[in-house]
Amino acid sequence: MEILLAIMIAALTGCGVYLILRLRTFPVVLGLTLLSYAVNLFLFSMGRLLENAPAVIGASELHADPLPQALVLTAIVIGFAMTAFLMALALRAWGEFGSDHIDGRTDELDPEQRP
């Protein structure tokens, strides 16, 4: 299981990083989303893995490390807020300089696409 998780983390991180390095806003947003998935899995894995051992008193005798889970929860929420803001920013940028290029470089878009 650990190995599978590691592979997943590797794949998500890699794809996320690659997407963040694209030139258009939308892929960058996707990339950050992927990266945050990867981060959450990574952070979670730092508490080491346990099966059928939810950190609920009485539900089982063994308990997975609850702290990383709590951290991940916080991270998810914050990540959500950030993604939302970036999304809005992308729209604002598109509105401001008629291009979804991350540096605002206006490439030759067909006119009916301009805001």
Partner 1 sequence: MLFAMVALPLLGALLPRLVQPLGRRSVAVAAALPALLAFLLLASAAPAVIGEGAVWKASLPWLPQAGLALAFRLDGLAWLFALLILGIGLLVILYGHYYLDKRDPGGRFFSFLLLFMAAMLGVVTADNLLLLVVFWELTSISSFLLIGYWSDQSAARKGARMALTLTGAGGLALLAGVILIGQTVGSYDLGTVLESGDRIRADSLYPLMLSLVLFGVFTKSAQFPFQFWLPHAMSAPTPVSAYLHSATMVKAGVFLLARLYPALAGTDLWFVLVSSAGLATLLFGAWMALFRHDLKGLLAYSTISHLGLITLLFGLNTSLAAVAAVFHIINHATFKASLFMAAGIIDHETGTRDIRRLGGLRRYLPVTAVLATVASMAMAGVPLLNGFLSKEMFFAVATETSLYGSLHWLVPILAVLAGGLSVAYSLRFVHDVFFGEVPPALAAHHPHEPPYFMRAPVEVLVVLCLLVGIFPAVFVGPLLAAAASATLNGSLPEYSLAIWHGFNLPLLMSVVALFGGILLYRFRTPLFALQRSWPRPSAPQVFEHCLQNMIGAAGAVVKWIDNGALQRYVAWLLLPVALMMLAAIASMPDWLGERALTPVDGLAVLAAVLAVVSAVATVLLRRRRLIALLMISVVGLVVSLVFLRLSAPDLALTQLAVEVVTVLLLMLAMYFLPTRGTIESSSWDVSRDLFLSISIGAGMGLLALFAMTHPGDTISAFFIDNSVPGGGGKNVVNVILVDFRGFDTLGEITVLAIAAAGIYALLENLGLCLPLYDPDGRRWARERHPLVLRVISQAVLPIALLVAMYILLRGHNLPGGGFIAGLVTAVALVLQYVANGVHWVHARVPNNYHPLVASGVLLSALTGLASLLFDHPFLTSTFSHLHWPLVGEFELASAMLFDLGVYLTVVGATLLILARLGKLSVVEHEESY
Partner 2 sequence: MMAHMIILPVLLPLFAGLLILLEWRQRIWLRRLISLAATAALLPLAGYLWLQAAGGEIGVYHLGDWAPPFGIVLVLDQLAALMLLVTALLALPVCLQACRGEDKNGANFQALFQFQLLGINGAFLTGDLFNLFVFFEVLLIASYALLMHGQGAERARAGVHYVVLNLTGSSLFLFGLGLIYAATGTLNMADVTRVLMEGRLVSPLLLQIGGALLLLVFALKAALLPFCFWLPGAYAAASAPVAALFAIMTKVGLYAIWRLWPLLFGHEASPLNSLVTPWLWPLALLTLAFAALGVLSATRLATLAAWLVLMSVGSLMAVLTLATEQAWAAGLYYLVHSTLAAAALFLLVGLISAQRGLLADQLKAGNDLPPSLAVLFLILAVVLVGLPPLSGFIGKMMLLQATPDAIFWILLLLASLLSLIAFSRAGSTVFWRQQKDAFAERMAVADLIPLLLLLLCTLVMVLLAGPLAEAARGIAVQLLDSQGYVDAVLGSGRALP
- Enumerate residues 6+ apart whose C-beta is below 8 A from 6: 45
97: partner contacted, choices partner 2, partner 1, none (Cβ within 5-8 A by kind): partner 2
52: partner contacted, choices partner 1, partner 2, none (Cβ within 5-8 A by kind): partner 1
Whole-angstrom CA distances from 60 to 24, 49, 52, 73 are 48, 15, 8, 21
Tokens of 16: 């996320």
Q: Which of residues 6-45 bind partner 2 (CB under 8 A)?
A: 16, 20, 25, 28, 32, 35-36, 38-39, 42-43, 45
Q: Which of residues 50-109 bind partner 2 (CB under 8 A)?
A: 67-68, 71, 74-75, 78, 81-82, 85-86, 89-90, 92-93, 96-97, 102-104
Total residues contacting partner 2 by CB under 8 A comes to 33
The rounded distance, in Å, linking the Cα atoms of 26 and 102 is 9
Whole-angstrom CA distances from 13 to 18, 19, 34 are 9, 10, 7
Q: What is the CB neighbour count within 10 angstroms for residue 84? A: 10
Which parts of this chain interact with partner 2 (CB under 8 A)? Answer: 16, 20, 25, 28, 32, 35-36, 38-39, 42-43, 45-47, 67-68, 71, 74-75, 78, 81-82, 85-86, 89-90, 92-93, 96-97, 102-104
